[in-house]
Amino acid sequence: MVEKCKVMDKKAKVLDAALKLFVEFGFHNTPTSKIAKEAGISSGTLFYFFPTKDELVVALYLDIKSKLGCEITESISQETSFKEILKKYYTTTLDWAKEHRDEFKFMEQFNSSPYLKKIAEDEIQKYVKPLKELLQNAIDEGVLKNMDLEILFTLISGHTFSINQYLIISEPQESKREQIISETFDLLWQMISA
Amino acid sequence: MVEKCKVMDKKAKVLDAALKLFVEFGFHNTPTSKIAKEAGISSGTLFYFFPTKDELVVALYLDIKSKLGCEITESISQETSFKEILKKYYTTTLDWAKEHRDEFKFMEQFNSSPYLKKIAEDEIQKYVKPLKELLQNAIDEGVLKNMDLEILFTLISGHTFSINQYLIISEPQESKREQIISETFDLLWQMISA
DNA sequence: GTCTATACACCGATAGAC
DNA sequence: GTCTATCGGTGTATAGAC
Bridge partners of residue B144, in order along the sequence: B193
CB contact under 8 A, B28 and A24: no
Protein-to-nucleotide distance from the CA of A144 to the C1' of C5, whole angstroms: 67
Task: Indicate if B17 and B90 belong to the same structural domain.
Answer: no
Q: Return the pLDDT at A80.
A: 87
**Cβ contact B44 with chain C strand, < 7 A:** yes
pLDDT in tens, A12-22: 999 999 999 99
User: B177 and chain A: CB distance < 8 Å anywhere?
Assistant: no
Q: Tens digits of per-residue pLDDT, A89-102?
A: 999 999 999 999 99
**Nearest 5 degrees, angle CA A14-CA A128-CA A53?**
25
Q: In Å, what is the separation between the CA of A10 and the C1' of D10?
A: 30
Cα–Cα dist B93/B148, whole Å: 23
Does the pLDDT at position B4 exceed 80?
no
Q: What CATH code is carried by the domain that includes residue A36?
A: 1.10.10.60
pLDDT score for A137: 97
How close B95 comes to chain A (CA, Å)? 18
A159 falls within a domain: yes
Chain A positions touching B26 (Cβ under 8 A) are: 28, 113-115
pLDDT value, residue A8? 62
Residue A45 within any structural domain of the chain: yes
Both A115 and A25 in one domain: the answer is: no
Is residue A56 situated within a structural domain? no
Q: What is the pLDDT of residue B6?
A: 52
A155-174 pLDDT per residue, tens: 999 999 999 999 999 999 99
- Exposed e or buried b per residue across A78-110, where buried means at least 16 C-beta atoms within 10 angstroms of its C-beta: eeeebeebbbbbbbbbbebbeebeebbbbbbbb
pLDDT of residue A3: 44
Question: What is the distance in angstroms between the Cα of A130 and the nearest Cα belonging to chain B?
Answer: 19
Whether residue B73 is found in the same domain as residue B125? yes
Judge whether residue A104 has pLDDT over 60.
Answer: yes
Beta bridge partners of A144: A193
- Chain B from 28 to 87: CB within 8 A of any A CB: 28-29
- The answer to whether strand C lies under 7 Å from the CB of residue B7 is yes
Residues B68 and B130 both lie in one domain: yes
A189 touching B, CB under 8 A? no
Residue A130 shares a structural domain with residue A164: yes
Question: Looking at the structure, do residues A45 and A73 belong to the same domain, yes or no?
Answer: no
The answer to whether residues B149 and B136 touch, using CB atoms and an 8 Å cutoff, is yes
Interface check for A26 against chain B (CB to CB < 8 A): the answer is: yes
Residue of A87, A191, A181 whose CA lies nearest to B159: A191
Q: Give how far A13 is from chain B: nearest CA, Å.
A: 23
**3-class secondary structure, A120:** coil
Both B62 and B19 in one domain: the answer is: no
Nearest to A66, CA basis, from A139, A142, A149, A124: A124
Q: Which residues contact B104 (CB under 8 A, 6 or more apart)?
A: B96, B97, B164, B168
What CATH number is associated with residue A107?
1.10.357.10
Mutate to test the interface with A, among B32, B187, B188 (most CBs of A within 10 A): B187
Q: Give the type of residue at B130.
A: P
- At residue A7 the predicted structure's pLDDT band, cuts being 50, 70 and 90, is low
Are residues A39 and A103 located together in one domain of the fold?
no
A155 and A109 in a common domain: yes
Local confidence band at A106 (pLDDT 50, 70, 90 cut-offs): very high
Instruction: Report how far Cα B192 is from the mean position of its chain's Cα atoms.
Output: 23
Using the predicted structure, report yes or no on whether residue A63 has a pLDDT greater than 90. yes
CA–CA gap between residue B92 and residue A43 (Å, rounded): 50
Which amino acid does the sequence have at B66? S
Ramachandran angles phi, psi of A78, nearest 5°? -95, -10
- Cα dihedral: A9, A15, A21, A26 (round 10): 170
Which of A28, A51, A74 terminates a domain? The answer is: A51
CA-based nearest residue in chain B for residue A170: B150
* Per-residue model confidence (pLDDT) at position A133: 96
Report, as an integer, the average pLDDT of B117-129.
Answer: 92
Q: Would the CB atoms of B154 and A165 count as touching at under 8 Å?
A: yes
Q: What percent of chain A has pLDDT over 70?
A: 96
Give the CA-to-C1' distance from A50 to D5 in angstroms: 20
Asked if B129 and B135 count as a contact pair (C-beta separation under 8 A), the reply is no
Same domain, A157 and A79: yes
Nearest-Å Rg of the Cα atoms of chain A is 19
Nucleotides of D under 7 A from a protein CB: 1-6, 10-16
Residues of A in contact with B25 (CB under 8 A): 114
Same domain? For B90 and B46 the reply is no
Q: Please tell me which residue lies nearest to nucleotide D6, judged from CA to C1'.
A: A44
> How many domains would you assign to chain A?
2
Beta-carbon contacts of B2 under 8 Å, excluding residues fewer than 6 positions away, are: none
DSSP state of A193: B
Whether residue A59 is contained in a domain is answered as: no
Confidence of residue A109 (pLDDT cuts 50, 70, 90): very high
> Is residue B79 domain-shared with residue B37, that is, in the same domain?
no
Q: Quickly state the pLDDT bin for B7 (edges 50, 70, 90).
A: low
Instruction: Produce one character per residue of B100-127: b if its CB has 16 or more CB atoms within 10 Å, e if not.
Output: beebbbbbbbbbbbbbeeeeeeeeeeee
Q: What is the pLDDT of residue A1?
A: 40
Specify the pLDDT at position A178.
98
Q: Which residues contact B102 (CB under 8 A, 6 or more apart)?
A: B19, B20, B23
What's the gap in Å between the CA of A24 and the closest CA on chain B? Answer: 7
- Domain with B147, as residue range(s), is 58-192
A50 backbone dihedrals φ, ψ, rounded to 5° = -125, 100
**pLDDT in the model for residue B78:** 87
Contacts of A24 (CB under 8 A, 6+ apart): A30, B114
Band the pLDDT of B80: cuts 50, 70, 90: confident
